[in-house]
A and B are shown apart, each in its own frame.
Chain A
């Protein structure tokens, strides 16, 4: 697990649940800090996946933000951001 050293200053929605977050941090970091480890299932076998590389290389953290398919590690949190698997 990971713990925050700086306090959350806003909230985001993940799959309908409201989670604390910090403006400007990577979305994947906000999810990990809130204990959300599993982000999606693979297209082929449905195997569970979560953030892996945190630098835009692996595409394992692909999620939907406001309808667009994005890498959660490359998207900066904005207050009220709505994301889903």
Chain B
């Protein structure tokens, strides 16, 4: 199979990139692992959405409808697992592997939740806030019974507001965020995106009127075989579900596996180095949206269109002048949408690594204490840590533990995160059966 543009990920960035590339007359193949378009933020988005976050849902439904009529080939339930020079990509669908050669590739892999490790967080019943939002969007499940939320960041308050507005029940929230003062420097710049902060304050206000909020970082989950209670500042509270959140980080599982694709450490997370168009340091590979640095859905959609214009130019659709004329207004709008990010990054820096007994690597069951022991023995980085402890070598391939191991090693060494290399990833970046592989022959 051969296409002009391969787009990976059908969230705001990927759908926008596919649409813009089609508008410029390019052939497009759009792949997404999920069963339907939307990514995480536009998952199950409906044009008749109401309540908190409804503006996002309406934008997502509009994009998905436009995409369906765009002539872009869309494959859902399709998992990309390798990219080789060419560029050539490999993916699996319906039990068979496929190969596709592309003029250029736009990756829009989005983000994953940064895990929040605390005592007892591996118990069944403890999940991510983002996970619970997916349950709400994909299956209409609402929290009921003794559901607690803990951590920090905008998504925690958005989910609480959405769940309450739909009739869900939340027993309490543990706000683990730090002092606000350091973020105030960035507040004036954040006001350039009108409405953004006002919406956030409205969600928080609505939630605080209905749910008790504890301010603490002394939290643990307890239970025999599954979650039964949360203990806040030494006081136990019955709990059947605990939802944790510490922001989101770019999903770099694929970009880190691409030879020569440079990454940098910014705002407490690794992200691919990209220029204003989304070009990575590997020829023919672009990244659009939050997978290239977290700025939110509206900025991601604009990044998708900007990347598609760069690709159209590279493939000979038009010259530099027309590319710049088309992209100029989009770049300006994206700049405004990105304005609040420094404020939010300063407001919610990642929480510090947990105490020694707490598990960091859920798959290989490696605790924070064992990571610190390894550092004391001379382990300098996360890749070396694999040899010391097997941390990061389990089924999740470092997706969950990667950022946690990284911050624990950096803290134990007493160096900035930029000094500690992230876990290297390798293709296949998702498990692949021999049967699937055989379909290539």
Question: Do A and B come together as binding partners?
Answer: yes
| Given A55-B112, A57-B400, A59-B363, A26 contacting B139 (CB threshold 8 A) | yes
CB–CB A45/B365 < 8 A = yes
Q: A2-B141, A52-B131, A53-B131 are in contact. List 6 more A-B contacts (CB 8 A).
A: A5-B167, A6-B140, A33-B141, A44-B365, A53-B128, A59-B396
CB–CB A1/B362 < 8 A = no
Q: Which residues of A contact B40 (CB under 8 A)?
A: 55
Bound CA span A1–B124, Å: 11
CB–CB B124/A56 < 8 A = no
Q: Label chain A's interface by main secondary structure.
A: loop
CB–CB B135/A2 < 8 A = yes
CB–CB B226/A4 < 8 A = no
Q: Which of A32, A39, A45 has most chain B Cβ within 10 Å? A: A32
Bound CA span A29–B33, Å: 17
Bound CA span A60–B131, Å: 13
| Given A5-B142, A44-B364, A53 contacting B130 (CB threshold 8 A) | yes
Check if B127 is an interface residue, CB within 8 A of chain A.
yes
- Closest approach, in angstroms, between the C-beta of A74 and any C-beta of chain B? 7
Bound CA span A55–B178, Å: 28
CB–CB B128/A54 < 8 A = yes
Q: Write the residues of chain B forming the contact surface with A, with a CB cutoff of 8 angstroms.
A: 33-35, 40, 112-113, 122-128, 130-132, 134-135, 138-147, 166-168, 225-227, 240-241, 362-365, 394-396, 399-400
Name the 8 nearest CB pairs between A and B, nearest first.
Answer: A50-B124, A29-B139, A54-B131, A59-B395, A1-B145, A25-B139, A2-B141, A3-B144
- Interface contact tally, CB-CB below 8 A: 122
CB–CB B123/A48 < 8 A = yes
Bound CA span A21–B394, Å: 31
CB–CB B395/A62 < 8 A = yes
Q: Can you list 11 residue pairs at the A/B interface with Cβ under 8 Å?
A: A2-B241, A3-B144, A26-B134, A29-B138, A29-B139, A47-B122, A51-B131, A52-B126, A57-B400, A58-B399, A60-B362
Contact of B112 among A5, A37, A47, A53 (CB under 8 A): A53
Q: Which residues of A contact B131 (CB under 8 A)?
A: 51-55
- Closest approach, in angstroms, between the C-beta of B329 and any C-beta of chain A? 33
Q: Give the size of the chain A interface in residues (CB under 8 angstroms).
A: 38
Q: With CB as the reference atom, state the residue of chain B lying closest to A7.
A: B140
Q: With CB as the reference atom, state the residue of chain B lying closest to A68.
A: B433
Q: Which residues of B contact A42 (CB under 8 A)?
A: 363, 365
Q: Which residues of B contact A22 (CB under 8 A)?
A: 139-140
Bound CA span A55–B145, Å: 24
Bound CA span A25–B128, Å: 18
